[in-house]
Chain A
Amino acid sequence: MRIKQSLIAALAVALVGLSGAAAAKDFRYATTGDILGLDPHANNEGPTNTMKGNLYGRLVHRLPDLKLVPDLATKWERLNPTTWRFTLRRGVTFHNGDAFSADDVVYSFKRQSQPSSELSVALSSVAELKKIDSHTVEIVTKGPDPTLLLNMPNFFIVSMKYMEANKAFEVVRGAGKTNFANLHANGTGPFKIVEWVQDNRVVLEPFDKYWDRKNLKSNVTKAIFRPIPNNATRVAALLSGEIDLMYPVPLQDIPRLTKEPSVEVLQGPELRTIFLGMDQWRAESLDMPGSGKNPFKDVRVRKAFAHAIDTKAIQRVVMRGASTPTGQMIAPGINGFQKTLNTPYALNPEMSKKLLAEAGYPNGFPVTLDCPNDRYVNDEAICTAVVPMLERVGIKVRLNAQTKSLHFNKIGKAQKNNTNFYMLGWTPGSYDAYNVLQNIMSMDGKGQGTWNSGHYSNPKIEALTDEIATEVDEKKRDAMIREAFKIHQDEVGHIPLHQQALAWGISKKTVAKVLQRPWNDVDLRTVIMK
């Protein structure tokens, strides 16, 4: 009897111990792949940027609703069209105890603007970053730059003392020696790194001396990030309670997970726009050798294509409702988005046939559609659905779906835009329309159109793009964006299809609340556990 009692007592103690362990708010979350590294300036890749956002401070932080709020800068003002002054926060320390000052900002600027830094794009307009005093810096831009602030959340601040002590100034990519900065992290962010076991887990803990600790909503005491590449395994891990949150939820599993009582599916629109592009520069179509003709040069043909594609059917059937059909090259929420231009091209196959006949192709023509099969949500399935839609109006489509490395190689500069008709998706990294105008919608031969694989070109849009780059009057700028997008839409420069939806699976048992950022990442600041 006594033995039994003491056993019960021991059990009770053990249980208390267990529940005590559960009170530690461990947050375990998973996505498809591991981060590429901890060097804040080396990579510009979704999951990696997400992780850096938890560890490193920026001058300006972007909230889930895209609003910009102070982080390491307490306030900022424009002194003249090309000069910005940032007042820095006092009393901020790095994870290792180093005090934060203007020197760190200057040093971080130098480090991030090296050509080998993939994130140097975020600072490409900056000519100089000057220290004024220990807690004031000035940024001088090459010309007036209306999007400077929008790029600031991608400017990560490192500790000069720490980086210098470890000889980690150089951003190492691929070749060269071992990379200290990519394996260690020392930022001012709300979380610090405990360990990173590659392709296995990243473990973070809250940073006690985080400058905004008292306002930090998150009650996570330990965050564990687990990459799980296989979709089915990731869903299973959520259902079995081994993880608390995972993304993306595969489209076919959304209905099933919604029915599960222990799981909630959080859906929202993403900022990436998926579109089709057409070769408008070759004198002769790649798919019609010997004909001497390129039908896509004719705006009537492009219109015919746009009106033959049923974006609603793609949304309903291919995307199972998890997308927003669009008529514009940017998503709602991006600076410069035009509500009135967002109606998709109306479905009208009869008109398409008529337009093709007018353009001199009453019997259609052959075309190859290049498509990735592992980049966007259901990318290949979307292309497969487009094929019969175009065949209905007489176009003979051959689908060429392949892995993203090969696809981007083929349609990109590496193979001189070796494509006639292709799919691409784009999120403007600065969350501003200019990025899309510059990279996708113009082609002046002087640096524009990095991913304008079909060389759509209209001198008016190109001139507007250059003006939009430097116009600081918001109203005027918006009007110019509107004009450029209107021309592009009328001329069917590209055919926008949709914005895909984000889907996260969340365990209701453990997670009380989490905010979904529309660029598909988990900001640990917003995670609240039960």
Chain B
Amino acid sequence: MLAFIVQRLFQAVVVMLVVGLIAFALFQFVGDPVNNMLGPEGSTEQREALRERLGLNDPVPLQFLHYLRNVVHGEFGLSYRMGKPVDELLVERLPATIELVGVSAIIALLIGVPMGVYTGLHRNSWLSRVFLTVSLVGISLPTFVIGIVMILVFGVWLGWLPTFGRGGVVDVGGWQSSLLTARGWSHVLMPATTLALFQLTLIMRLVRAEMLEVLRTDYIKFARARGLRNRSVNFGHALKNTLVPVMTITGLQIGSLLAFSIITETVFAWPGMGLLFLQGIQFVDIPVMSSYLVLMAFFFVLINLTVDLLYYAVDPRLRIEHTGGGAH
């Protein structure tokens, strides 16, 4: 087990290195940060001096090596846009993004799984059809359109929820949380729902398909023949057996929630890492962009690792195989 985790962490380092290298290669196509930093009236000499100071005149592989060397020493560089250390910036923004992604993952699971079970069990009820039709909206509309429509309805017309930003923030041992106050929740609700909609639909449809599959198997029939109660059959036996694929997909989707949060954060002016990254791109803020991408790669690896470990917890067969020493 330990060897497995160590092996995965080693893979994480490789993935992060590759992502970093690709990122650096791509930065050559985003433009020159010096133009943004100096403004139009900077002189040619100022430009050249700044390029030299930032190491932009070095060849790309060398720039990457410099970056790596600094990262190993724990220095992620200063943001070109704001002159603050990048690691500080990312740590400041991390709570906002994690809370947004966490809340939307919970929304997606808490609503998506029951809806999936329901539509699986009652295939032909009118409510199932409503769920399935409405969920098409979640799949087909882009996040920013959903976000803006929600702002219009709940923020402008009804005036129930604030239209932008993050509020009601409380400091809990260095972690800036907005989930402890009603005001904080009023701010997080709309962006989190917007972000969750796609995943919710996906999870619902996945659970539904898996349920339909499982309900057809023999052991469900036998379970019913034994006279077990419906609830026990549906949730104790059927749902449990649908969970492995659902977990895999949910895990991957949390990764993409992090990625999609870039758009949602921009629409709602949510001060998370995604917004930082997007503004970094506009400004060609290379230290911010590279550190964000490497951090994201790390998160993806971490999420996959967690999912792998959860398999062990949920599926007893994996544990048996392992203790039996069987290789697969």
Chain A residues in 8 Å Cβ range of B41: 44, 118, 121, 429, 439, 450
Selected contact of B37 from candidates A174, A240, A242, A426, CB within 8 Å: A174
Selected contact of A409 from candidates B35, B43, B278, CB within 8 Å: B35
Chain A residues in 8 Å Cβ range of B276: 199
Roughly how many angstroms separate A310 CA and B108 CA in the complex, as a whole number?
Answer: 53
Chain B residues in 8 Å Cβ range of A234: 164
Q: Are B83 and A412 in contact (CB under 8 A)?
A: no
Q: Across the two chains, which residue of chain B brings its CB closest to A233?
A: B164
Roughly how many angstroms separate A527 CA and B41 CA in the complex, as a whole number?
Answer: 30
Chain B residues in 8 Å Cβ range of A227: 269
Partner-contacting stretch, out of B15-23, B45-53, B131-139, B206-214: B45-53
Q: Are A242 and B282 in contact (CB under 8 A)?
A: no
Cβ of A360 within 8 Å of any chain B Cβ, yes or no, is no
With contacts A118-B42, A198-B89, A236-B152 taken as known, whether A174 is within 8 angstroms of B80 at the C-beta atoms is yes
Selected contact of A226 from candidates B50, B84, B269, CB within 8 Å: B269
Cβ of B31 within 8 Å of any chain A Cβ, yes or no, is yes
Cβ < 8 Å to B, chain A residues 170-186: 172-176, 178-179, 182-183
Partner-contacting stretch, out of A209-217, A319-327, A400-408: A400-408
Chain A residues in 8 Å Cβ range of B165: 200-201, 226, 228
Selected contact of A115 from candidates B37, B46, B275, CB within 8 Å: B46
Central interface residue in A199, A230, A414, by most chain B CB within 10 Å: A199
Cβ of B105 within 8 Å of any chain A Cβ, yes or no, is no
Q: Are B164 and A199 in contact (CB under 8 A)?
A: no
Chain B residues in 8 Å Cβ range of A450: 40-41, 43-44
Q: Are A426 and B164 in contact (CB under 8 A)?
A: no
Q: Across the two chains, which residue of chain B brings its CB closest to A229?
A: B266
Chain A residues in 8 Å Cβ range of B166: 200
Cβ < 8 Å to B, chain A residues 442-472: 447, 450-451
Roughly how many angstroms separate A43 CA and B188 CA in the complex, as a whole number?
Answer: 33
Q: Are B30 and A406 in contact (CB under 8 A)?
A: yes
Q: Are A242 and B162 in contact (CB under 8 A)?
A: yes
Smallest Cβ distance from A259 to chain B, in angstroms? 14
Q: Across the two chains, which residue of chain A brings its CB closest to B89?
A: A198
Cβ of A232 within 8 Å of any chain B Cβ, yes or no, is yes
Q: Are B84 and A174 in contact (CB under 8 A)?
A: no
Q: Across the two chains, which residue of chain B brings its CB closest to A176?
A: B78
With contacts A178-B84, A237-B163 taken as known, whether A374 is within 8 angstroms of B282 at the C-beta atoms is yes
Roughly how many angstroms separate A451 CA and B44 CA in the complex, as a whole number?
Answer: 10
Cβ < 8 Å to B, chain A residues 43-96: 43-45
Cβ of B32 within 8 Å of any chain A Cβ, yes or no, is yes
Q: Are A36 and B81 in contact (CB under 8 A)?
A: yes
Chain B residues in 8 Å Cβ range of A118: 37-39, 41-42, 46
Cβ of A413 within 8 Å of any chain B Cβ, yes or no, is yes
Q: Are B267 and A405 in contact (CB under 8 A)?
A: no
Roughly how many angstroms separate A172 CA and B45 CA in the complex, as a whole number?
Answer: 17
Cβ of A152 within 8 Å of any chain B Cβ, yes or no, is no
Cβ of A37 within 8 Å of any chain B Cβ, yes or no, is yes
Cβ of A239 within 8 Å of any chain B Cβ, yes or no, is yes
Roughly how many angstroms separate A409 CA and B43 CA in the complex, as a whole number?
Answer: 14
Chain A 385-415 interface 0/1 with B at a Cβ cutoff of 8 Å (1 = within): 0000000000000000001111011001110
Cβ of B85 within 8 Å of any chain A Cβ, yes or no, is yes
Q: Are A172 and B83 in contact (CB under 8 A)?
A: yes
Cβ of B289 within 8 Å of any chain A Cβ, yes or no, is no
Q: Are A405 and B30 in contact (CB under 8 A)?
A: yes
Chain B 41-71 interface 0/1 with A at a Cβ cutoff of 8 Å (1 = within): 1111111011001110000000000000000
With contacts A44-B41, A232-B148, A240-B155 taken as known, whether A413 is within 8 angstroms of B50 at the C-beta atoms is no
Smallest Cβ distance from A20 to chain B, in angstroms? 20
Smallest Cβ distance from B94 to chain A, in angstroms? 14
Cβ of B239 within 8 Å of any chain A Cβ, yes or no, is no
Smallest Cβ distance from B186 to chain A, in angstroms? 12
Selected contact of A413 from candidates B44, B159, B283, CB within 8 Å: B44
Q: Are A174 and B89 in contact (CB under 8 A)?
A: no
Cβ of B36 within 8 Å of any chain A Cβ, yes or no, is yes
Q: Are A406 and B83 in contact (CB under 8 A)?
A: no
Q: A44-B42, A121-B43, A233-B164 are in contact. List 14 more A-B contacts (CB 8 A).
A: A39-B83, A42-B83, A173-B37, A178-B84, A182-B84, A229-B275, A229-B278, A232-B267, A236-B156, A236-B164, A242-B162, A242-B163, A412-B35, A450-B40
Binding site for B on A (CB under 8 A): 33-34, 36-37, 39, 42-45, 115-116, 118, 120-121, 172-176, 178-179, 182-183, 197-201, 226-230, 232-234, 236-237, 239-242, 374, 403-406, 408-409, 412-414, 426, 429, 439, 447, 450-451
| Nearest 3 interchain pairs by C-beta | A405-B31, A200-B271, A406-B31
* 25 A-B residue pairs with CB within 8 Å: A36-B81, A36-B83, A37-B82, A39-B83, A44-B38, A45-B39, A118-B41, A121-B41, A172-B83, A176-B78, A178-B78, A183-B84, A198-B89, A199-B276, A201-B165, A236-B152, A236-B155, A242-B162, A404-B36, A405-B282, A406-B31, A408-B35, A413-B44, A413-B47, A447-B43
